[in-house]
Amino acid sequence: MKVQYIAIIFIIIMIPLMLVLTVYTQSQIDNLGVQLQYDTKLYDATYDGMKAFQLNTVNNKYSQVADSLKRDVEAAIKTFITSLSNNLSLSGYSIKDVSPYIPSILFTLYDGYYIYAPTYAEKLQEVEKDSIDVDGNPVKIIKEESKTPIEYSYENILKPYIYYTVKYHKNENNDFIVNYTLDNYIILYGMVNGQYVTKSGFLIVPGKVKLEIDKLKLETILKRNILEYILPLRTLDNADQETILTLYDRAPLGNLRPIDKVSLTSNFGEKLLNRLLTTKTLATVNDDVLLEEMLDSKIDEFLEDDDEIIGENYIITDDGIIDEVIDVFKINYDGIEISDSSAKKYYVKALRFTNWINKNLPDIKVSDAIKIDGSQYEEFKDNNSYLFNTINGNDPEDLSSTFSQHRMLAIRISIQTNLNTAIAKYNERFFEEKTYNLKMPLMNDNEWEKITNHISMATFFQGLQIGNKVYNNYTVVASTENKEMISNDNMYYFKKDLTGTVYYHKIDCPNLEDDGEIIGAKNIDYDVYKSRNEDETYEYTFGDIIEGVRLKGRPQNNIKQVGDITELSACYDLTKLYKNCIINQNYIPKITLNANRLKAKYTTIGRERNNLYKVNEYINM
Amino acid sequence: MGDSIITVVAILVAAILMFVFPLLSVAERSDDIAQLAVQTATIEFVDNIRSTGKIQESSYNSYIQTLAATGNSYDAEIEVKVLDENPGKKVTWASGDKIGENVYYSIYTSQILETFEKEREQAKKTNDSNSEVAYLLKEGDMVTVSVKNTNLTLSQILRNFFYSVTGSNNYQVAAKHSGIVTITGTNI
């Protein structure tokens, strides 16, 4: 056979092979391309959802109220699904077309999380029953009969809110639950040293806070408050009859507020008790001598012991009292003097809470964590580090500390378990219809770090047929601009420059001038919102800051200003009040923080944390 | 005589068909694979920037390495559109009495690399070996990465040999991805 024939036969064999291979490779490449596109679309849609959440919560005065926040989460999820169906070129189709492929959405908030998932619901048979209406006439009412479900269906709902809780059991006397949050704030309930307690507060390193007391100021305040105004109706506290005496505010009679508790074993307590026992009535004590003694012993208490600053609750119960008493303290945090009273309150409260924890729970180990069924966690059982002992190097604000590592892992385990269950449950039904198994994907450490330290939204999208493959991915978007939590990263500091323009900066920005006081606020406070009235005028709602003046007191989010700047033609909903410092344009080395900046930083974080509404703070009362 | 010319021509044709044609096909497949790798790497790189709020030197380096592993040389360009939220005072070309006209200004690869270098120097000066070298972005910025090959790939060479499509801006492997940054970045 001639050589050209061999060539032709070779070509006849090879060309179809090559063509098929080319088509196959190309389709694989296309699939991957589509998959990558979907990844991006999923990410974009999730960001849209998160953005909606940020906008909604900031505009929602009541976002700290659970139900209201739940509505915002639902809106965010709806935004996500709508955005996803638009992005996937499925617009025109209803949310129902996309939602079967979303086995779950995770929404982590400050002290717990929501899981949105298709949930199995049974519809019960309805039975008519005889009854009577309000006027006594016989009517038929429809009552659901629970024994015979007639229909089963999956409904996409937000499952109940789950807190980041871990139970600890050391012995019968130390058996309690800790509710973690995304930062160093914890809530504790249960038996501690044989007593049932409920406490909440920020856990810090106690050595960083130094308290000093201005004796003169203290005396003035105590004289005014205690001698002339407050004291004393008194009762013995029921729970701790033997040791604690509760003092009540006398001023608004009929509306008694406990203002202080005094230990009867203290000097002052003994004196007071003796006095009360001799009078044997609940009459007011108008004895000047006793009050003088009381004043002295209060001052002694102040000076002697940081832990028992003044009674048990004096500082914490009432903001009005705190405001005055707080002036008495000179507070140094990390060597920097704090002068803002809100910030001082944060440090005092945190110190008191931390001291209490360190005193009462010094020997709780990570391995004391148990599951609800009483068994130990595999992850924790070999770790014998002291969890709540923050005195030696265990800084709860440092992500590498024992406390933080444990907190993050505990949150992660809780989320993993519940998310896994939700997806697996839904899969039972999904698998029947689609022959595809939905599974919870493995997320990497970076993503978990995001989830356990930020308000975040994780969305899962699985089971959609693309080409000859099945799409399966998830995405995590964290939020740094919201009013649900406070962290150092969310703070901006503002300063007017020579031309009168106010710029806001990060704390280590070299363009931030050092002279004078630096004021900061959380980033969300810099936003200006615009809304349109019926008569086509616009209204602007500012955050907490106007022209460099931070307004005192709360609520501050509703200052409306109409007129000044209403000539705005473009329509959008939100902008910043001040100009962002342009640091990124040319590189300028970041500077190490000097005392002035550190002061601004500590003051701002303290103030914002103190002002943050915390759902569980009341349990300290 | 005529026969042997035909034989020579036939051998030439056969050689082209049997060797060059498959080679061209294989070279094109390999470009496809390179294209896919580059596209994947680019999308991952950009999405990583978007979700962390920073361009880390380490992730930039590994991106460049992934590109190089395809056997071609590339020109990778990063453009960051930094959101200049601009409520009161205006730049010269906008009227001063409006609030909220947002302006973007652009930062390019060379500026980002310069930042890396200076940050490294700074870290060395302060003996801070833990600090991460990164260019920080904020929520609302936009990042675009576009990449194309600068060498001639095998398939390009072969194709140019048969039918000339050369031009100075002709490239075979290219990818582009962009998106909005979703989180304000922070140094660890």
Contact A587 B43 (CB under 8 A): no
- Burial class of residue A327, CB neighbours in 10 A (0-12, 13-18, 19+): middle
What pLDDT sits at residue A232?
43
b/e map A224-259, b = 16+ CB within 10 Å: ebbeeebbbbbeebeeeeeebbbbbbbeeeeeeebb
Tell me the residue type at A296.
D
Tell me the residue type at A456.
S
- Structure confidence by residue, pLDDT tens digits, B57-106: 999 999 999 999 998 999 999 999 987 765 544 344 444 344 455 678 88
Asked if the model's pLDDT at residue A145 lies above 80, the reply is: no
What pLDDT sits at residue A572?
35
Q: Which residue of A has its CA nearest to B178?
A: A40
- Structure confidence by residue, pLDDT tens digits, B132-163: 788 888 888 899 999 999 888 888 888 877 77
| Chain A residues close to B51, C-beta within 8 Å | 43, 450, 475-478
Q: Is A412 strand, coil or helix?
A: helix
Check residues B180 and A238 and name the one with the higher pLDDT. Answer: B180
- The answer to whether A611 and A533 are in contact (CB under 8 A) is no
Average pLDDT value for residue range A389-417: 91
| Chain A residues close to B58, C-beta within 8 Å | none
Check residues A144 and A412 and name the one with the higher pLDDT. Answer: A412
Euclidean distance between CA atoms A40 and A38, whole angstroms: 5
Among residues A393, A397, A405, which one has the least CA distance to residue A366? A405
Q: Is B42 strand, coil or helix?
A: helix
- The answer to whether B61 and B75 are in contact (CB under 8 A) is no
Any residues with CB less than 8 A from the CB of A595 and at least 6 apart, and which?
A336
CA A542 to chain B, closest CA, distance in angstroms equals: 12
Going by pLDDT thresholds of 50, 70 and 90, the confidence category of residue A587 is: low
What pLDDT sits at residue A222?
56
Tell me the residue type at B45.
F
- Structure confidence by residue, pLDDT tens digits, A43-93: 999 999 998 888 887 766 666 666 778 888 999 999 999 888 888 876 566
| Chain B residues close to A44, C-beta within 8 Å | 179-180
Going by pLDDT thresholds of 50, 70 and 90, the confidence category of residue B169 is: low
Going by pLDDT thresholds of 50, 70 and 90, the confidence category of residue A554 is: very low
Give the best residue of B80, B85, B141 to mutate against chain A (max A CB count within 10 A).
B85
Listing from the earlier edge strand, what are the strands of the sheet with A519-522? A519-522, A491-496, A502-505, A579-580
Residue A378 CA neighbour count, 13 Å, CB half: 1
Angle in degrees, 0-180, between the axes of helices A3-59 and B21-52, rounded to the nearest 10: 10
Instruction: Tell me what the pLDDT averaged over chain B comes to.
Output: 81
What pLDDT sits at residue A550?
38
Using a pLDDT cut of 90, give the percent of chain B over it: 27
| Chain A residues close to B28, C-beta within 8 Å | 22
Q: What is the DSSP secondary structure assignment for residue A290, as one 8-state letter? A: H
Q: How far is CA A512 from the centre of its chain?
A: 29
What pLDDT sits at residue B42?
94
Give the best residue of B139, B143, B177 to mutate against chain A (max A CB count within 10 A).
B139
What is the DSSP track for B107-168?
Answer: EEHHHHHHHHHHHHHHHHHTT-SS---EEE--TT-EEEEEEEE-S--HHHHHHHHHS----T
Contact B183 A589 (CB under 8 A): no
SS3 content of chain B, % helix, strand, coil (to 5): 45, 20, 30
Average pLDDT value for residue range A148-159: 75
Going by pLDDT thresholds of 50, 70 and 90, the confidence category of residue A163 is: very high
- Tokens (6 digits) for A71: 């509505």
Check residues A7 and A475 and name the one with the higher pLDDT. Answer: A475
Euclidean distance between CA atoms B86 and A577, whole angstroms: 8
Euclidean distance between CA atoms B144 and B49, whole angstroms: 10
Residue A416 CA neighbour count, 13 Å, CB half: 14
Asked if the model's pLDDT at residue A571 lies above 50, the reply is: no
Contact B87 A499 (CB under 8 A): no
Instruction: Write the Ramachandran bin of A523: left for phi over 0, alpha for psi from -120 to 50, otherwise beta.
Output: alpha
| A144-158, A405-419, A477-491, A512-526: range with lowest mean pLDDT | A144-158
The yes/no answer to whether this complex scores an ipTM above 0.85 is: no
Q: Which of A481, A569, A587 sits opposite B139 (nearest CB)?
A: A481
Q: What is the DSSP secondary structure assignment for residue A581, as one 8-state letter? A: P
Asked if the model's pLDDT at residue A215 lies above 70, the reply is: no
| Chain B residues close to A7, C-beta within 8 Å | 10, 13-14, 17-18
What pLDDT sits at residue B97?
42
Q: Which of B84, B115, B177 sits opposite A580 (nearest CB)?
A: B84
Report the C-alpha dihedral over residues B90, B95, B99, B105, rounded to 10 degrees.
Answer: -50
Give the best residue of A1, A5, A43 to mutate against chain B (max B CB count within 10 A).
A43
Check residues A303 and A341 and name the one with the higher pLDDT. Answer: A341
b/e map B104-135, b = 16+ CB within 10 Å: eeebebebbeebbeebeebbeeeeeeeeebbb
Euclidean distance between CA atoms B76 and B145, whole angstroms: 7
| Chain B residues close to A480, C-beta within 8 Å | 53, 139, 183-184
Asked if the model's pLDDT at residue A268 lies above 60, the reply is: no
DSSP strand pairing (A502-505 vs A579-580): parallel
Average pLDDT value for residue range A407-430: 90
Check residues A142 and A373 and name the one with the higher pLDDT. Answer: A373
Asked if the model's pLDDT at residue A308 lies above 60, the reply is: no
Going by pLDDT thresholds of 50, 70 and 90, the confidence category of residue A296 is: low
Q: How far is CA A541 from the centre of its chain?
A: 24
- Burial class of residue A388, CB neighbours in 10 A (0-12, 13-18, 19+): buried
Q: Which residue has the tokens 């704090």?
A: A338
What pLDDT sits at residue B156?
83
Using a pLDDT cut of 70, give the percent of chain A over it: 64
Average pLDDT value for residue range A296-308: 49
Angle in degrees, 0-180, between the axes of helices A3-59 and A66-87, rounded to the nearest 10: 150
H/E element, A456: strand A455-466
Euclidean distance between CA atoms A261 and A246, whole angstroms: 4
Any residues with CB less than 8 A from the CB of A31 and at least 6 apart, and which?
A466, A467, A468, A469
Instruction: Write the Ramachandran bin of A43: left for phi over 0, alpha for psi from -120 to 50, otherwise beta.
Output: alpha
What pLDDT sits at residue A257?
47
What pLDDT sits at residue A299?
52
CA B167 to chain A, closest CA, distance in angstroms equals: 26
Among residues B119, B65, B164, B175, which one has the least CA distance to residue A584? B119
Euclidean distance between CA atoms A408 and B83, whole angstroms: 33
Q: What is the pTM of this model?
A: 0.77
| Chain A residues close to B10, C-beta within 8 Å | 2-4, 7
Any residues with CB less than 8 A from the CB of A485 and at least 6 apart, and which?
A110, A181, A182, A183, A454, A455, A612
Asked if the model's pLDDT at residue A516 lies above 70, the reply is: yes
Going by pLDDT thresholds of 50, 70 and 90, the confidence category of residue A320 is: very low
Asked if the model's pLDDT at residue A417 lies above 80, the reply is: yes
Check residues A392 and A261 and name the one with the higher pLDDT. Answer: A392
Q: Is A139 strand, coil or helix?
A: strand
Going by pLDDT thresholds of 50, 70 and 90, the confidence category of residue A309 is: very low
Any residues with CB less than 8 A from the CB of A79 and at least 6 apart, and which?
A48, A49, A51, A52
Asked if the model's pLDDT at residue A560 lies above 50, the reply is: no
CA B78 to chain A, closest CA, distance in angstroms equals: 14
Among residues A574, A212, A8, which one has the least CA distance to residue B21? A8
Backbone angles phi, psi at B88, to 5 degrees: -115, -90
Find the largest Cα–Cα distance for chain A: 131
- The answer to whether A269 and A311 are in contact (CB under 8 A) is no
Average pLDDT value for residue range A299-315: 43
What is the DSSP track for A177-215?
Answer: EEEE-SSSEEEEEEEETTEEEEEEEE---GGGEEEEE-H
| Chain A residues close to B115, C-beta within 8 Å | 587
Any residues with CB less than 8 A from the CB of A188 and at least 6 apart, and which?
A176, A177, A178, A179, A197, A198, A199, A200, A357
- Structure confidence by residue, pLDDT tens digits, A431-458: 777 778 888 889 999 899 989 999 999 9
Backbone angles phi, psi at B143, to 5 degrees: -125, 135
What's the first-to-final CA gap in chain B, in angstroms? Answer: 81
Average pLDDT value for residue range A544-570: 36
Contact B18 A10 (CB under 8 A): yes
What pLDDT sits at residue A303?
46
CA A387 to chain B, closest CA, distance in angstroms equals: 23
Contact B17 A7 (CB under 8 A): yes
Check residues A205 and B13 and name the one with the higher pLDDT. Answer: A205
Q: How many CB pairs under 8 A join A and B?
A: 146
CA A565 to chain B, closest CA, distance in angstroms equals: 7
What pLDDT sits at residue A459?
95
| A334-338, A393-397, A534-538, B92-96: range with lowest mean pLDDT | B92-96
Q: Which of B14, B21, B97 sits opposite A4 (nearest CB)?
A: B14
b/e map A464-490, b = 16+ CB within 10 Å: bebeeeebbbbbbbbbbbbbbbbbebb
- Tokens (6 digits) for B163: 């039918």
What pLDDT sits at residue B161?
77
- The answer to whether A599 and A336 are in contact (CB under 8 A) is yes
Contact A11 B21 (CB under 8 A): yes
CA B94 to chain A, closest CA, distance in angstroms equals: 13
Euclidean distance between CA atoms A299 and A311, whole angstroms: 11
- Tokens (6 digits) for B111: 């500026």
Average pLDDT value for residue range A489-506: 73
Contact A579 B87 (CB under 8 A): yes
Report the C-alpha dihedral over residues A189, A195, A196, A201, rounded to 10 degrees.
Answer: -40
- Put simply, the chain A residues between 10 and 39 with a CB less than 8 A from any chain B CB are 10-11, 14, 18, 21-22, 25-26, 29, 32-33, 36, 39
Instruction: Tell me what the pLDDT averaged over chain A comes to.
Output: 73
Euclidean distance between CA atoms A118 and A105, whole angstroms: 10
What pLDDT sits at residue A239?
46
Check residues A222 and A375 and name the one with the higher pLDDT. Answer: A375
